Each structure stands twice: as C-alpha cells, then as structure tokens.
Amino acid sequence: MDFFLETLVGGLLAGVMYALVAIGFVLIYKASGVFNFAQGSMVLCAALTFVTLRDKGLDFWSAGLVTLVVMVALGVAIERVVLRPLVNQPQITLFMATLGLSFVIEGVAQILMGASVHELDLGVVDVPVEVGPIQISQFDLVAAGVAGALVIGLSIFFSATRIGVSLRAIADDPQAALSIGIRLQTLWRIVWGVAGFVALVAGLLWGARQGVQFSLTFVVLKALPVLLIGGFTSIAGAIVGGLIVGAADSLAEIYIGPLLGGSVSTWFAYVLAVVFLLIRPAGLFGERAIERV
C-alpha cells in the first residue's frame, strides 16, 4: 500500500510538471483559438537562453530578467510576423504555421546558442523528503508550489484585471469584443508575451530536472493528453489534466507495464485521453461549443 501511495504521489507531482507546459497552450488557445504547437520549442528556447546568459557570466536574476524580455519579445514577434497576417484563415492554417514555427525556433536557437547539453542549477536540493512511510521529491514539491502560484497568478490576471476580462471577452466572442472597442491585436501580443513567460518558468523547471537540451521539446508530447483531458480553454483544467495524466501514467507503468512486457508511458496517457474525449469531447473543463443551426 505504501508503494502504491508513493507511486501515486510521485505521479501527481510529475503531472504538475506536464501541466506547466500545458498552461502555455491554454493561454494562446483561450485568447486566439490557435493551437500553438511551438510551445515546446519556446520552452527549449527559454531554457537555452537562460543557461547561455548564465554561461556568459550573468547572475541568476539578471539572466532570468533578460530571458524574460527575450521570450516576451519572441512571443510578440510571432504574433506580429506569423499570426497577424493569417487572421481569418482556417484553424488548420494557423496550426500548420505554428508547427513550422516550432522547427524554426529549434533550429535558430541551436544555431545561435549551440547544441551542447547544459546543467541548470536552481539551487533546489533534490533529496527525498520522508513523509510518513513514503518518500517525496523535494524538487517536485517546489515545482508543484511554483505551478500553484502560477495558476493563482494567472487566475487573478484573467478574472480581476481589465486586460484579463478583455481576454475572456475575446475568447467568448471575438466579433462582439471587437464591436465594443477591445483592441484584439494588442491583447494577442500580451497573451503571447505571457505565454513566453510561462515557457520560461516551464523551461527552468524542466531544464533543472533533466538538463537543458533539445529533448526539452519532447515534453510537449505529454502536454497534449493533459490538454485533451483538462480542456483547451481552462488553466485549472490543465492542472487537473496534468494530475490525472501523471498519476495514471505512473500507476500504469508499475502495474500494467510488466504485464505487457514493456513500458506503457508513451501511449497510456493517450488511451486515457481518448476515453475522456469519448465521454466529454471538450475535456473536463473545456467550453462546449454551442452553435445555432
């Protein structure tokens, strides 16, 4: 029972890490209806920029600040150069544009900053903490705390600020929002900038966990089932989806994997996502599209 509990808790904490990446997707989708496939590349770019600046001698906070500026600038530039010219194009066109963008960001980031593997030390000692009969990773607890703070901050931003309310209006009905004078493009730039910030947070935590290297882009593969389960438009849904995926993945790896003679974590989360889709096509917290026919 202790082992089951430990696996469950470990999985839940791992799920928070996936949720961090998923939140970046949700932000963009919520505001513009674009599924930003380049979010994983933005995570890599953020972490790579940060460690490159640290290697150049900048202290932790200066490097973080400059990286934040770079990521916000990147987000704004993407909106201006790639997405704005594609306004009113079909969703699949916008999706393909972000798909292409992900390759461009990965390639340019590696050309400018190299392909070496970097260590990223956030100063969090990753030793296990004994909680009763189970061990919990100290680093994962910190990551969960950061994710929680991020969710609270973004929730306040979306519900209690003028910009946030405007963004919700755009998400609900872009035409109506435009008709009352909300400046769509300005708000898109803000959202892409915030997505850049989220990418930085995710990049730092994932980079500290596994080293800063190209494979950071692979974390997107686990963020997709998180989105399918939690819904594309809910930040809380991303967290809940992350927790479900993380826990189910870990338990399946331990209890189902040996029965099948191999690792199941590459596909099990997707099976789960398909099951959720069959029951709730918009995800647990997603907004169901209701159209007049």
Partner 1 sequence: MSSRIGRLRRAAILAVVGLGLGAGLSSAEEPPVQKQYIPLLTYRVGAYASSGIPIWAGIIDYFTYLNEAEGGINGVKLFWDECETEWGVEKGVECYERVKGGKDGSPVPILWPHSDPIGKALTEKAAADKIPLVTLNYGRTEAVDGRVFPYSFPVVLSFYSEASTAINFIAQKVGGKDKLKGLKIATVYHDSPYGKETQPALDLLAKTYGFENIQIPVAHPGNDQSAQWGRIRQLKPDWVFLRGWGVMTPVAVKTAAKTGFPVDHIIGGIWSSSEEDVRPAGAVGKGYLAITTYPAGADFPIHDKIRRFVIDTGKSNLQDKKSFGSVYYNSGIVDAIILTEAIRTAQGKFGHRAINGEEARWGLEHLDITDQRIDEIGATGLQPTLELSLSDHEGGGIARVIQWDGAKWSTVSDWIQADRDLLRPLILERAAAYAREKGITPRSDADSTN
Of 111 and 293, CB closest to partner 1: 111
Cβ partners under 8 Å of residue 181, min gap 6: none
Minimum distance, C-beta of residue 81 to partner 1, in the bound complex (Å): 23
Give me the amino acid identity at 160: A
Shorter beta-carbon distance to partner 1: residue 159 or 218: 218
Which residue, 32 or 250, has its beta carbon nearer to partner 1?
250
What is the closest distance, in whole angstroms, from the C-beta atom of residue 207 to partner 1 in the complex?
Answer: 9
CA atoms within 13 A on the CB side of 2: 7
Q: How far is the CB of 160 from partner 1 (least distance, A)?
A: 34
Give the dihedral sign, CA 106/110/116/118. negative
Cβ 213 to partner 1, closest distance in Å? 6
What distances in angstroms separate CA 199 from CA 19, 67, 180, 190, 287, one per listed residue? Answer: 12, 10, 32, 14, 24
For residue 246, the tally of other CB atoms under 10 A from its CB is: 26
Residue 140 C-beta: closest distance to partner 1, Å = 8
Q: Choose between 39 and 234: whose C-beta lies nearer to partner 1.
A: 39
Q: For the chain, what's the residue count?
A: 293
Residue 132's Cβ-count burial label (10 Å; 0-12, 13-18, 19+) is exposed
Name the nearest CA neighbour of 189 among 167, 213, 211, 172: 167
Contacts to partner 1 by CB under 8 A: 3, 6-7, 10-11, 13-14, 17, 107, 110, 114-121, 126-128, 135, 137-140, 206, 209-215, 218-219, 222, 249-251, 253-254, 257, 262-266
Looking at the Cβ atoms of 177 and 219, the one nearer to partner 1 is 219
